[in-house]
Amino acid sequence: MKLNIRRLQNSDLEIVKKWWEQWPDWTAPADDFLPETGVVIEYDNKPVFVGFIYLTNAKVALIEWIVSDPNWKNKNRKKALELLITGCENVIKELGYNYGFSVCRHKNLIETHKKLGWVVDDKPSHELVKILK
């Protein structure tokens, strides 16, 4: 297994957009909706997971838009996801934030957060977005 972690680069967006197009029931957010900060997990130097980090003016940062290569059918998927989340946590800490916050609905993603010590609210909420431009 050759998993490694690195910071998000602008060039990663093209790859991530293709992934979103391939996942059923997903639509890629607009480029200007995504933050510049994030983490990429690579397997043998090929991106397989990406997570974006929204920075706020409070001591909280949001980990959002976690997406993976839908064609990567590897036994190390769970380990790669754990590495992504802990990598995002480390970036958040390095940048001086005290709290990580995330919104998700995918069962495996929720279970991975729980395994890593995240508190999961048992009352579902809804994401709300309004385009203001």
Mean pLDDT (10-residue bins), the chain, 133 residues: 92 94 89 96 96 97 96 92 97 97 90 94 84 85
- Give the C-alpha separation, 51 to 116, whole Å: 16
> Could you tell me if residue 71 is inside a domain?
yes
> Could you tell me if residue 122 is inside a domain?
no
What pLDDT, on a 0 to 100 scale, did the predictor assign at position 123? Answer: 85
What CATH number is given to the structural domain containing 91?
3.40.630.30
What pLDDT, on a 0 to 100 scale, did the predictor assign at position 58? Answer: 97
> Backbone phi, then psi, for 80, in 5-degree steps?
-65, -40
Helix (H) or strand (E) holding 55: strand 46-55
pTM: predicted TM-score of the whole model, two decimal places: 0.91
> Could you tell me if residue 132 is inside a domain?
no
Q: How do beta strands 37-43 and 46-55 pair?
A: antiparallel
> Could you tell me if residue 67 is inside a domain?
yes
